[in-house]
Chain A
Amino acid sequence: MSNATDLVHFLASLVLAAPAILIAMLGIPSLLGYPLSERESDRACRSTVALGLFASIGVLIWMLATDNRHVVIDLGNWVSIQHEGEGGEHAHYHFAVKFEFDRLSIPLAILSFALIGIIGAFASKYMHRESGYNRFFVQYALFLAGMVIASLADTIETLFLGWELVGLSSALLVAFFQERPAPCRNGLRVWVVYRVSDAALLFAAVTLHHMTGEGDFDRLLGTESWPHGQTALTQWHALVVGLLLVLAAAGKSALVPFSGWLPRAMEGPTPSSAVFYGALSVHLGAFLLLRMSPLITTSVWLAGVIVALGLVTAVYAYLVGTVQTDIKSALSFASLAQVGIIVVEIGLGHWVPFMWYVALTHLIGHACLRTLQFVRAPSLLRDYHELENAIGSRLPCPPGPLAAAPLRVRGWLYRFALERGYLDALLTDYIVQPFVGLFRWFDRLERRWSAFLNGTRSPEQKIPVPKPETSLPLSPVVKEEVHA
């Protein structure tokens, strides 16, 4: 038995080590100025992802064979400090690094390895001779590490670690074609939304830490394996923490009102769009809600908010998706509609806990389907063009579902859908612009105050911008990209 336990711990360690090895293999040579060649990068990706995938399948087989549904890998306290004051006061902080393999985490870990491995093999051809080949795979390795850590985290701090890695790598991949301004603007937009989401998760994490004294999930959500955990929090505490987590999930999964970033994220290369925003990254918010399911059990109000948010997102994504004119945007909204439904299923788990299994199955199935569709998208367009050339005319285009709406609301619905629900405009007009306006006003005041004190007349200093070459010929890969 001891040998079997040692074996599963060894396999679990391999699951965690694989992404770290990949980051080291790709990152360290790049830092030293000697990046790996395409072939070496490809081999490193294949071997480490395969290692992680087979190790995680091994853990799953062990769990099924021994009927053990909760394997915990405790790497100890990363940081631990104790303070015993003279007045008897006691202060304690520890940052535990623990990972758990259970019914929820192991499917997502296997899914992550499988989809990222497939996309890695696809991308090694797709990105061939692209100038940012090495950069793409370094960010890809960071994303893999983030997904695996977030999936398997057994403490909320560890989850936050993975969550942030996913956020950074996603934003950088959106801006992958970095010689054009649009992807960079969109990458920044994605990053801003992710920071809001990160802040909500961090606040939830420290609030939980404060309420329970621990960040460990088994203290917070009970020692029972998922989904039978029970939280020790009161209903109102669960609601407060749950709402913060819903905000974090909304940002990560592009739920309303943060949906605007999802089509913008399609500016990145097709492989990253497929695996990150179509399949994995967009489901991370739903995964967080599933992980926190004991909070949903405790608070009916929280469950209601989650169901409502999921429904609004699903309807919104359906309406907006019907008028999209490019394939990646259409797929992204289709993906969002499904994520909305998954969130509804998670909320319904308050009344019917079996719905959490439904949500998990839905999540896995949807991720696989959407990856296939995204990867197929560029060649599908080519097939359509060949078909149209062959028949000598456009393919028949049936009217969309909005055409069936009553005449009185049809125009409004079209405007709403074409403007993507005015969500971006609302966030820009009521949050971004007032913020920027206020701080620019402060900035002007400061410059005038400095000029006044210094006795100079012109507070504004003109700085020449280094002249970039903006009219570059686009690479073949960029040309192939269908812009969101």
Chain B
Amino acid sequence: MTFASIPWLELAIAVPLVGAVVVSRLRDPLSASRWSLTFTGLALACSIVAWIGFLLGLTPDGSSTQDILPRLFGRKVLLLDVLSAPLVPLVALLHFLTVLGTARTKMSRISFSRILAGEAIRLATFACAVPFDLSVLLILGVLLPYFELRERQRPTRVYLIHMGMFVGLLVVGLATSGEVSAAFLMGAVLVRSGTILVHVWVTDLFENASFATALLAVVPITGMYAALRLVLPVPAPNWVLQGIGAASMITAVYAAGMAVIQTDARRFFAFVLLSHSSLVLVGMELHTIISLTGALALWGSVIVSIGGFGLTLRALEARYGRLSLTDFCGLYATSPALAVCFLLTGLASVGFPGTSGFVAAELLVDGAVSANPVVGFAVIVTAALNGVAVLRAYFLLFTGARHQASVPLRITIRERVAVLTLTALILGGGFFPQVFIASSHRAAEASAIVTRAPGE
């Protein structure tokens, strides 16, 4: 048996799927958590190995001679290319850290089996390039949060209406061709990405679903992946790309402004996330190699930094309940390490120097200014507003008072491991950005080729 004969990519997806079945039969939350950690860890390891195999050219498209899906469907279903190869391990890492950072108090209230099933679907989504298969996976991906909302007896209509719209537009887009298809697919991408006017499902999901479910559903920015795989190869006419870009630009500024004035930590996080995911889409629309490279680099950075930011907020919620941003909470006194992590991940998300987002944001701004100075200006305003929002939230949550607790609320060992992993990634990407940017550049060139030569 050789390295290339082992189906690493299929294993990365199969392991959490099997894990979902195994964990669903466990009744003890603690053992469910431990098993989930094992399965997500294994999935992460397999996805990293698949990525390394792809990088070293051992498995040119991430597939193996022992793959099962090609035997079932008669064609390759899951593949890696320059775009998806780094995204798959990043998404696996996000799931692993989410399970790792789950506090004991919350273990009985979240469904680990659903997290594992969601991981399998999301990993498969990011390893799929065929439009039909991808669409099926995208539709499957929206079902799990709906089930959770129903189970928690929370309002589902906002989510249902928007995701119904998404599915409808996606199906019609696939069924038609030419400009009509591009227009419908653009609509589907805009809904899935939470673009302005159809974005309330994101804030609603964060308010009503568990933090973990909302985080895992939105942070990977599946809408961007759908845009690159479904809209760009059509080929999309200019007005479609400009439409996505204009709507995303307005969303980025609007969401950044909304993040500054939020009084609820979850809504604040949802808007910061929306702003960043829109910035990524803006980079795609500008359609220069530099801006596309910036957008792809920012995408990877956002998954790590915003993912870490969300996990920090989740750790805080596990200790203090839902967090308000109306008054100073003074949580630094009881959770100093979480305060540092909050600041670090928050600043990384806004592209602070020395963090993974810095060069990505520079590239995006540079590409934007070259393409259109107004867009460049809007990107800079968005970054400035997001920076204000992050530090405002930091001051309101951690300073201004002194929170006193009768029980220790310091960071746990599991959380510290998660924090240190994120810190290493954020600072590593910040101080040695060439590897990370070169990978994004290759993906950007590949995307540009796909757009120019449809069908190839």
Contact = CB atoms under 8 A, between A and B. Distances in A.
Contacts of A470: 330, 401-402
Contacts of A168: 347, 352
Given A168-B352, A453-B200, A469 B329 contact: no
A184 B400 contact: yes
A160 B353 contact: yes
Interface in B42-69: none
A383 interface: no
A465 interface: yes
B370 interface: yes
A135 to B, nearest CB: 8
Most central of A32, A439, A442 by chain B CB within 10 Å: A439
Nearest to B452: A86
B432 to A, nearest CB: 9
Interface stretch (B20-28, B78-86, B111-119, B259-267): B259-267
Most central of A80, A206, A440, A461 by chain B CB within 10 Å: A206
Nearest to A440: B261
Interface string B395-414: 10011111110000001000
B388 A184 contact: no
B337 interface: yes
B395 A179 contact: no
B161 A78 contact: no
Interface in B218-270: 254, 257-258, 260-264
Given A31-B340, A85-B289, A453-B161, A439 B402 contact: no
Given A178-B400, A187-B395, A454-B155, A79 B433 contact: yes
Contacts of A443: 258, 261-262
Nearest to B267: A443
A196 interface: yes
Given A165-B353, A450-B158, A179 B384 contact: no
Contacts of A79: 359, 363, 433-434, 437
Most central of A178, A180, A198, A436 by chain B CB within 10 Å: A178
B391 A188 contact: yes
B196 to A, nearest CB: 10
Contact of A464 (B288, B322, B392): B322
B321 to A, nearest CB: 7
Interface residues of B, number: 81
Contact of B399 (A160, A184, A456, A464): A184
Nearest to A201: B380
B148 interface: no
B323 interface: yes
Contacts of B441: 81, 83
B403 A91 contact: no
A403 interface: no
Contacts of A455: 155, 157
A198 B387 CA distance: 10
Interface in B157-209: 157-158, 161, 200, 203-204, 207
Contacts of B398: 178
Contact of A463 (B156, B158, B264): B264
B327 interface: yes
Contacts of A464: 321-322, 324
Nearest to B399: A178
Contacts of B203: 446, 450
A219 to B, nearest CB: 16
A396 interface: no
A468 B402 CA distance: 5
Contact of B261 (A32, A187, A436, A461): A436
B298 interface: no
B366 A93 contact: yes
A109 interface: no
A450 B200 contact: yes
A199 B383 contact: yes
B445 A468 contact: no
B365 A178 contact: no
Contacts of A319: none
A165 to B, nearest CB: 6
Contacts of B377: 203
Interface in B335-382: 337, 340, 347, 352-354, 358-359, 362-363, 365-366, 369-370, 373, 376-377, 380-381
B380 A199 contact: yes
A456 B157 CA distance: 10
A121 to B, nearest CB: 26
A95 B200 contact: no
B213 to A, nearest CB: 17
A91 B437 CA distance: 15
A192 B388 contact: yes
Contacts, number: 193
B399 A164 contact: no
Contact of B365 (A206, A449, A463): A206
A469 B403 contact: yes
B433 A202 contact: no
A102 interface: no
Nearest to A142: B354
Interface in A70-93: 77-81, 83, 85-86, 91, 93
B416 A33 contact: yes
Contacts of A463: 263-264, 322-324, 326
Contact of A456 (B155, B340, B380, B388): B155
Most central of B353, B358, B366 by chain A CB within 10 Å: B353
Contact of A446 (B200, B260, B329, B354): B200
B18 interface: no
B320 interface: yes
Interface string A263-297: 00000000000000000000000000000000000
Nearest to A164: B353
A143 B290 CA distance: 32
Contacts of B388: 188, 191-192, 195
Nearest to B404: A469
A210 B155 contact: no
A144 B366 CA distance: 28
Contacts of A160: 353
A439 B261 contact: yes
B352 to A, nearest CB: 6
A146 to B, nearest CB: 9
B20 to A, nearest CB: 29
B416 A181 contact: no
B423 to A, nearest CB: 6
Contacts of A435: 257, 260
B3 to A, nearest CB: 30
A30 interface: yes
A367 interface: no
Interface string A428-470: 0000000110111011001001100111100001011111111
Contacts of B369: 203, 206-207, 209-210
B278 to A, nearest CB: 16
A44 interface: no
Nearest to A157: B362
A161 interface: yes
Interface in A159-175: 160-161, 164-165, 168, 171, 175
A455 B359 CA distance: 45
Interface string A33-68: 100000000000000000000000000000000000
Contacts of B402: 179, 468-470, 472
Contacts of A181: 328, 400-401
Nearest to B435: A79
B123 interface: no
Contacts of B321: 464, 466
Interface string A137-151: 000000000000000
20 contacts: A33-B416, A178-B398, A179-B401, A184-B328, A188-B388, A191-B387, A196-B384, A203-B369, A203-B376, A206-B365, A210-B366, A442-B257, A450-B203, A453-B157, A454-B157, A454-B204, A464-B321, A466-B320, A468-B329, A470-B402
